[in-house]
Amino acid sequence: MTAAALKNEMDTTGFNHTKTWQKICTKADLVAFSGVAAWFETASGPAQVAIFYLPVDPNAATLPGRATELYALDHFDPFSKANVIARGIVGDIKGAAVVASPIYKQHFRLADGQCLEDESVTLRTWPIAFKGDAVWIEG
């Protein structure tokens, strides 16, 4: 599903420029251990978000900093000035799940958006969760 299609399907009932939970996609739209991009409404207007799905094996010990399966970060890469974060390579550095920007390769922690190469740069993050097979984000 394209970002434009997701934008049109979003459930934003009662949206009044305050934080609210919105349905953004379904679990079937996600790619395990990868990112997808989508549009959603935030209190400050529409935003592009990079959603990362890292399934947790219920039979394995959870890595530190990996207590969740879903992460939502700003799709905009401040170094390349392009919306590309969802296309980055997912990995882990010192036990923390990260995405490497596909342009200049800076690493951003999925949990809090912090750039590991430049402490002054942090991507916005949003609460995101599964509700059944639907993916909901708070914006």
d(C-alpha 24, C-alpha 98), whole Å = 22
Q: What is the mean pLDDT of residues 17-27?
A: 87
Q: What is the pLDDT of residue 18?
A: 66
Judge whether 15 lies within some domain: no
Judge whether 18 lies within some domain: no
Domain limits for position 41: 3-8+28-138
Q: What is the pLDDT of residue 81?
A: 97
Q: Which residue has the tokens 């800076």?
A: 106
Alpha carbon distances (Å) from 116 to 27, 61, 120: 29, 25, 10
Judge whether 118 lies within some domain: yes
d(C-alpha 5, C-alpha 34), whole Å = 20
d(C-alpha 137, C-alpha 71), whole Å = 10
Judge whether 86 lies within some domain: yes
Judge whether 19 lies within some domain: no
pTM above 0.85, yes or no: no
Element (H, E) at 3: helix 3-9
Judge whether 70 lies within some domain: yes
Judge whether 97 lies within some domain: yes
Total domains, the chain: 1
CATH for 33? 2.102.10.10
Judge whether 92 lies within some domain: yes
Q: What is the pLDDT of residue 19?
A: 77
